[in-house]
Amino acid sequence: MRTPATQPSLQLAPVIALPAVRRPTASRFGELEVVQPLAAGGMGGVYLAAHVTTGERFALKVLDATLAKHPEVVARLHAECAIAQRTSHPGLVRIHAARVGELPGELPYLVMEYLEGDNLTDVSGDGELDLPTIYGIGAQIASALAALHAAGVVHCDVKPDNVLVLRDRVDGELRVKVLDFGVSRLIDEPKSEAPSIAGTPWCMAPEQWRGAPETASDVYALGCLLFDLVTGDGPFSGSLPELMFAHQEMRPARPSWLRPGVPAALDRLILRALAKDPADRPTMMQLAIELADLADAHAPAVLRAAS
């Protein structure tokens, strides 16, 4: 049974979980008019909006009214925008602006590009994707994250829920977009005496459980994501304490033990990404190159890694 997608992000900070998407009190945000809700998250809702003059469509990430009262949460929203704007890559969602609300009743919000696609959690099912497609999707995710790392950012919450899969209308190929920089951190961010822990438990690296994420933590999380795509489940399962222990102390199974036919090269690549010591993991760019090589070798016309 597939369990990773049902596990929410872990944020040891003052964040309130929202049970469902609610249309915000205001239907107008600056020059943008809310059309319909799209998704719910731990900080608020995401809505489709259209420019009142041009009709151009955007996605709005709007803070919940309760959270909007907390200055530190509003600051995090602005930080998410600033982090996203540090780099431009076709595999990273574009965030155009962060607003505090310009009209009465407006809540703080982000203006993002609107994308029509399917969540990777829904696309993958219970380990139902063929291996060439997994190679291509993985290569694109790794390429996008490598660009983020080059810009000095650690994503900190790499998981299928934060990857959108789109099909190109011209050539029919699949493209991915990495979403949600809400808990991302700068690589050179000063270390706190009481570091916060943020991420999703089933795919958090050992050092991330200690509140010390680094670029190699995203590599580990992508290893967990690939393990999930290949086998239909994450490398470890259990309660929060059990997951914390497993990620820090236990060795994962070989994916080929759970899905016969997985080639040794993919086994090795995933297990290297899941190394307990960050220094033993490949870089994100190395991961992108190796996955792209596998994609090209097995089905060059199925997917090409974004560059």
What digits encode the pLDDT tens for the residues 134-176? 999 999 999 999 999 999 999 999 999 999 999 876 667 889 9
Residue from 199, 273, 184, 198 nearest 229 by CA = 273
Examine the fold and report which residue of 85, 113, 141 is the final residue of a domain before the chain moves on: 113
What is the rounded average pLDDT of the residues 63-80? 86
Looking at the structure, tell me whether residues 69 and 209 fall in a common domain: no
User: Distance between CA atoms of 278 and 294, rounded to whole angstroms?
Assistant: 23
Summary mean pLDDT of the chain: 85
Examine the fold and report which residue of 113, 138, 168 is the final residue of a domain before the chain moves on: 113
| Residue 203 belongs to domain spanning | 118-298
Q: Known catalytic residue: 157? A: yes
What is the per-residue pLDDT for 90?
A: 93
CATH of the domain at 164: 1.10.510.10
What is the per-residue pLDDT for 9?
A: 55
What is the per-residue pLDDT for 14?
A: 34
User: Would residue 38 be called left, alpha or beta, if left means φ above 0 and alpha means ψ between -120 and 50 degrees?
Assistant: alpha
* Chain-centroid distance, C-alpha 139: 14
What is the per-residue pLDDT for 88?
A: 87
What is the per-residue pLDDT for 16?
A: 33
Looking at the structure, tell me whether residues 101 and 177 fall in a common domain: no
| pLDDT at 13 > cutoff 70 | no
| pLDDT at 285 > cutoff 80 | yes
Residue 7's pLDDT band, with cuts at 50, 70 and 90, is: low
Q: What is the pTM of this model?
A: 0.86
pLDDT in tens, 85-114: 888 899 999 999 988 766 556 788 899 999
Looking at the structure, tell me whether residues 15 and 126 fall in a common domain: no
- For 31-67, b where at least 16 C-beta lie within 10 A, e where not — what string? ebebeebbebbbbbbbbbbbeeeeeeebbbbbbbeeb
Looking at the structure, tell me whether residues 56 and 131 fall in a common domain: no
Which of these is catalytic: 118, 122, 126, 157? 157
Looking at the structure, tell me whether residues 156 and 99 fall in a common domain: no
**246, 262, 217, 250 alpha-carbon torsion, rounded to 10°:** 20
Looking at the structure, tell me whether residues 247 and 109 fall in a common domain: no
Looking at the structure, tell me whether residues 63 and 145 fall in a common domain: no
